Structure 1
Amino acid sequence: MLILRRLENLLLSLWVGVMVGIGYIAAPVLFKVLDDRKLAGSLAGDMFYIVMLVGMILGGILLLLRYREESINLFRQWRGGILLLMLGLVAVSLFVLQPMIAEVKMSGITEGSDNAKKFAMLHGISSLVYLLTVIFGCLLIFFGLRKTPG
């Protein structure tokens, strides 16, 4: 039981750590050091895609581990709900927002255009979804994935 709890903490910390490392350290550095914003955006987009895949895999494993022990009761607890919400946010990002952003980029973005406004809106939504996922992950790291007795 203790090993399973530690494994869950490790996987959750890895997931949130990857998100923080890429989203709030690596991506901003790309835009700061590269003169070509298009290249920086392309590289950041590739990194975010990998982060979302990592999130789907680690989140899926965590959900399976917790469900294996808690069954349907997992979703009656706030911790299980938060974990499911995190996985849902990652899925929305990966399968809805990122393809929409890629489509806008492919049709071309010029300053002040409708595409530029659409890109800014989608980027803002994506950033908010990302931030919420990190915040929820930090809550689960702080309080733990399991209710501790006592």
Structure 2
Amino acid sequence: MWLPCKPRAACANTKSSPFVTSERRRSSLVSSAPHRVFRLLVLIWVGSALTIGYVVAPTLFAMLGRATAGDVAARLFRIEAFVGVTCGVLSLALGNVLVRRGALGYRRVRWLVAGMLLCVLIGYFGLQPFMDALRTAAREGGFDIEHSRYAARFGLLHGIASVFYLIETLLGVALVWMLPAGLPEGGVQPGRLTAHSG
């Protein structure tokens, strides 16, 4: 018995559907990559800041002498500062990309990233050189910083830097809390999706 063939359009759609689905999945993974990288950078930044500032540093001062603990902590905070600047710059760049793609939830998130980055620049790179100079001057005089004539100025700068670090971590917790759950339609703008589907 002779059976009529399906319309060519239907046959073509049936044959190409697996390829279309694969292409859509690949496109979705590519478009969601900035979103995933943004979340990874934020988690690395905030996690390292909380761990070093409120777990590692207090443990050092509890187990070692204050001078030794201060030196080790200073090196760790230096590493953390560079981690913060790197993650902050990359996060801002990715945030701009995501906003242009229609992920409007990243507009407020970018301000939190900018605030954290500003805290790092002021709290560490702005104040730490003066603190290092005071520490060096005290050592050249044969004293540690706590028993030198620079102790008061060092304590003031250290207190200001600690405030900036606290603000940075609070902004970081808020940033993690406010991270968008996902991207709309694989990260493309809803208007573009409608135009293509039409």
Please state if 1:118 is matched with 2:147.
no
Higher mean Cα deviation, 25-34 or 84-93?
84-93
Kindly tell me: are residues 9 and 69 of structure 1, through their superposed partners in 2, closer, same or farther at Cα, counting changes over 3 Å?
closer
Structure 1 residue aligned with 2:164: 129
Contact 2:41 2:91 in 1 (8 A): yes
Summarize the alignment of residues 102-113 of structure 1 with structure 2, pairs less than 5 Å apart: 102-108=132-138, 109-111=145-147, 113=149
Contact 2:131 2:158 in 1 (8 A): yes
Given the two structures, how large is their TM-score scaled by the length of structure 2?
0.66
* Higher-Rg member (1/2): 2
Rounded to whole Å, the distance in 2 between the matches of 1:145 and 1:91 is 26
Q: Deviations over 1:22-44 (max 9, x none)?
A: 1111111111111x211110000
Moved over 6 A (4+): 146-149
Rounded to whole Å, the distance in 2 between the matches of 1:88 and 1:140 is 14
Please state if 1:39 is matched with 2:74.
no
Rounded to whole Å, the distance in 2 between the matches of 1:90 and 1:4 is 23
Residue identity over aligned pairs, in percent, reads 32
Count of residues in correspondence between the two structures: 144
Unmatched tracts of structure 2, length 5 or more:
1-30, 139-144, 185-198
Q: Which letter does structure 1 place at the counterpart of 2:71?
A: S
Rounded to whole Å, the distance in 1 between the matches of 2:110 and 2:86 is 16
Q: Which letter does structure 2 place at the counterpart of 1:40?
A: A
Please state if 1:59 is matched with 2:88.
yes
Contact 2:49 2:169 in 1 (8 A): yes
Contact 2:39 2:179 in 1 (8 A): yes
Summarize the alignment of residues 139-150 of structure 1 with structure 2, pairs less than 5 Å apart: 139-144=174-179
Q: Which letter does structure 2 place at the counterpart of 1:27?
A: A
Let me know the Cα RMSD of the aligned residues. 2.3
Contact 1:52 1:93 in 2 (8 A): no
